[in-house]
């Protein structure tokens, strides 16, 4: 199977549409483009494929409806804009999908919904049930209640996590660029398009840069990160220009368009996908070179002796990030001790835990079954 045939064989899709496309760069909902995308998604459904639509645009539409000069910076004003804009956004989708006798469902998520194991499973079950019923779920971040502490940060990230939730075969990120370039095409007309790459290629981050638009919170960097997230469930990601006519149909037919980012390995088990999906962690362990090697090569548990420092205020069972001595992410997992206990035992052998804490705790500070490599 060729790399592009990965998309032609895909049965379950996540399609993410950004704010600049949906609102025609802030001029209001682009009804004509929305009708085109919905028509193509309806064709997917007619072919027996499942599609989850991750849609930005609520805040941008609310900004326009309220007559604001731009995206507000104050959280309460963003939330108000989202509440107003969500009405118009969902009404527009409902109207367009109804033309094809398709039901839609609105799903609003926060990071807390996916951090809590029970709520994560509930979200997964709901999405899978809707797909089995032939419904097209329309997912957005719940901007009306979200805060900086519990937000995804952008809908590219949310799309990657939704791909994990439903074990999607393919994710399409519709943007206003033709794909990922090796340099910014707005500054370098001769910039080369990256036709395809492995999603774990760190060079992609250099290509992506840090730019983003005024209406959305993402940029090409968040799209590359989202592709890496999606790869954990074995999902291939394609970044394409959403303004191209019939772009979704072209992808389904295997057209060489956009940037295809391929998963580099077998999908993670569902529980480890959930662990990897945590964007907010409660603490950080810095590991010595030996501990990093043991985790990466041997697949063993993390012992206190391999940790050189600990930070954060965490409780037993919460998610802690593990980094190497340069601060690079290595793993994350559910910790067996609270922050004070961990501070007392790090750097010591497991046999010393009783004398240090006064009771016999777990030998591992993070058991391998509760740990995922990044």
- Over the range 210-233, which residues count as b (16 or more CB within 10 Å of their CB) and which as e? eeebebbbbbbbbbbbbbbbbbbb
177-191: average pLDDT: 84
- Over the range 278-306, which residues count as b (16 or more CB within 10 Å of their CB) and which as e? bbebbbbbbbeeebbebbeeeeebbbbbb
Do 241 and 121 reside in the same domain of the chain?
yes
Do 306 and 254 reside in the same domain of the chain?
no
In the predicted model, is pLDDT for residue 218 greater than 60?
no
254-262: average pLDDT: 92
27 three-class SS? coil
Q: Which of 38-47, 171-180, 355-364 has the highest mean pLDDT?
A: 38-47
Do 125 and 199 reside in the same domain of the chain?
yes
189 three-class SS? coil
89-94: average pLDDT: 93
Do 250 and 289 reside in the same domain of the chain?
no
Rounded Cα distance between 119 and 161, Å, is 14
In the predicted model, is pLDDT for residue 210 greater than 70?
no
Contact between residue 211 and residue 219 where contact means Cβ atoms under 8 Å apart: yes
Question: What band does 356 get if pLDDT is binned at 50, 70 and 90?
Answer: very high
Q: What is the CATH number of the domain that holds 244?
A: 3.40.1160.10
93-102: average pLDDT: 96
Rounded Cα distance between 82 and 146, Å, is 10
Q: Which of 272, 296, 330 is the last residue of a domain?
A: 272
Q: What is the pLDDT of residue 153?
A: 55
pTM for this structure? 0.77
Do 105 and 244 reside in the same domain of the chain?
yes
Tell me the pLDDT tens digit for each residue of 328-342.
989 998 899 999 999
Tell me the pLDDT tens digit for each residue of 16-36.
998 888 887 667 788 999 999
Range of the domain at 120: 5-272
Do 165 and 259 reside in the same domain of the chain?
yes
In the predicted model, is pLDDT for residue 132 greater than 60?
yes
Mean pLDDT for the chain overall: 86
DSSP state of 302: B
33-60: average pLDDT: 94
Q: What is the CATH number of the domain that holds 354?
A: 2.30.130.10
In the predicted model, is pLDDT for residue 235 greater than 60?
yes
Percent of the chain with pLDDT over 90: 49
Task: Answer with the residue of higher pLDDT: 361 or 278.
Answer: 361
Do 168 and 57 reside in the same domain of the chain?
yes
Do 212 and 301 reside in the same domain of the chain?
no
Q: What angle do CA 5, 8, 13 make, to 5 degrees?
A: 125
265 three-class SS? coil
Q: What angle do CA 54, 60, 63 make, to 5 degrees?
A: 150
Pairing of strands 170-175, 236-241: parallel
Q: Could you give phi then psi for residue 298, rounded to 5 degrees?
A: -95, -15
Percent of the chain with pLDDT over 70: 92
Question: What band does 143 get if pLDDT is binned at 50, 70 and 90?
Answer: low
Rounded Cα distance between 334 and 91, Å, is 41
Tally of domains in the chain = 2
Do 305 and 254 reside in the same domain of the chain?
no
Q: What is the pLDDT of residue 117?
A: 76
In the predicted model, is pLDDT for residue 248 greater than 90?
yes
Give the residue from 140, 160, 162, 151 showing the smallest Cα distance to 57: 140
Q: Which of 272, 301, 328 is the last residue of a domain?
A: 272
Do 150 and 299 reside in the same domain of the chain?
no
């Amino acid at each position: 199977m060729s790399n592009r045939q990965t998309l032609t064989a895909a049965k379950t899709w996540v399609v993410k549409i950004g704010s600049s496309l949906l609102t025609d760069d802030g001029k209001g909902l682009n009804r004509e483009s929305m009708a085109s995308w919905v028509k193509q998604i309806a064709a997917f459904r007619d072919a027996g494929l499942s599609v989850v639509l991750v849609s930005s645009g609520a805040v941008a539409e609310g900004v326009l409806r309220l007559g604001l000069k731009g995206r507000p910076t104050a959280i309460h004003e963003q939330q108000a804009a989202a509440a107003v804009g969500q009405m118009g956004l969902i009404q527009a989708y409902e109207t367009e999908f109804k033309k094809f006798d398709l039901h839609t469902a609105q799903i609003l998520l926060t990071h807390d919904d996916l951090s809590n194991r029970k709520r994560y499973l509930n979200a997964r079950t709901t999405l899978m049930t809707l797909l089995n019923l032939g419904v097209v779920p329309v997912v957005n971040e719940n901007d009306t209640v979200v805060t900086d502490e519990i937000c995804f940060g952008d809908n590219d990230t949310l799309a990657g996590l939704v791909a994990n939730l439903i074990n999607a075969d393919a994710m399409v990120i519709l943007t206003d660029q033709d794909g990922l370039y090796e340099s910014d095409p707005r500054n370098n007309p001769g910039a080369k398009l990256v036709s395809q790459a492995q999603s774990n290629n760190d060079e992609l981050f250099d290509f992506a840069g840090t730019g983003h638009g005024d209406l959305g919170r993402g940029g090409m960097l968040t799209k590359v990160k989202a592709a890496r997230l999606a790869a954990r469930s074995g999902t291939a990601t394609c970044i394409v220009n959403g303004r191209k006519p019939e772009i979704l149909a072209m992808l389904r037919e295997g057209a060489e368009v956009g940037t295809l980012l391929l998963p580099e390995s077998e999908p993670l088990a569902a529980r480890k996908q959930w662990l990897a999906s945590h964007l907010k962690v409660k603490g950080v362990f810095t590991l010595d070179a030996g501990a990093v090697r043991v985790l990466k090569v041997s697949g063993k548990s993390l012992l206190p002796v391999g940790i050189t420092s600990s930070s954060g205020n965490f409780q037993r069972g919460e998610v802690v990030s593990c980094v190497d001595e340069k601060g690079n992410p290595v793993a994350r997992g559910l910790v067996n001790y609270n922050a004070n206990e961990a501070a007392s035992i790090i750097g010591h052998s497991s046999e010393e835990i009783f004398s240090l804490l006064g009771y016999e705790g777990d030998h591992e500070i993070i058991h391998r079954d509760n740990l995922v490599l990044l």
